[in-house]
Amino acid sequence: MIFELRHRLIFLRHGETDWNAEGRLQGGQDIPLNAKGLAQAEAAGRIVGKIVGRDKARLEAFDYVASPLGRARRTMELARGALALDPFAYRIEERLRELSFGRWEGMTWPEVQVDDPGAAARREADKWSLVPPGGESYAMLCDRLRPWLETIDCDTIAVAHGGVARCLMYLLAGTATERAPMSDIWQGRVLVFEAGRYRWI
């Protein structure tokens, strides 16, 4: 564990987009949810209800924050709607923005390997530290996230991205830097960080 979080963090990855389905690197591109992603967002909200309960006062005691990207905001709104909460009563947190892939955004990984084989090979060898051209490494994303974690002062529900979840696995649960970037981050499920550990629900 790198950072000791004294509160529970319930994390939702945004629902699927067409670029997810096509295997395209999204990063900072604002790609909307597709039909499957809309259903996944509502399903994640229902899972939160099973974890926390349906008592409105208890649900409203959480802080709700989302990445500024539309796919995360829409996921938050649908999840809150599934909890019978005001869909729009949440905060935007810029530091939850997805890992930037720079010039590679919009490309599939096979396309990156053809376009920039040297950098692609270096990233395969060290996925944690390699900085895509004009983008960010996971290490840089962790540096962006840690000051946000320091502001958390109550149980929190956050909606963000796969790269963010992998960094949280490292920061909050001590997942090795070799393993964290390889971790599957499922859409439509919920990731709970608590007491230096994480679990999927």
For residue 160, what are its two tokens?
Answer: 């963000």
Tell me how far apart the 2 most distant CA atoms of the chain are, in Å: 54
Is 132 within 8 Å of 119 (Cβ atoms)?
yes
Q: Are strands 190-194 and 9-13 parallel, antiparallel or unpaired?
A: antiparallel
**Which of 16, 77, 93, 98 is flagged as catalytic?**
98
- Strand order across the beta sheet in which 9-13 lies: 91-92, 63-66, 156-160, 9-13, 190-194, 197-200
Q: Are strands 190-194 and 197-200 parallel, antiparallel or unpaired?
A: antiparallel
Q: Is 134 left (phi over 0), alpha (psi -120 to 50) or beta?
A: left
DSSP for residue 153 = -
Tell me if residue 98 is catalytic: yes
**Which of 14, 16, 93, 136 is flagged as catalytic?**
14
Tell me if residue 16 is catalytic: no
Residues belonging to the active site: 14, 98
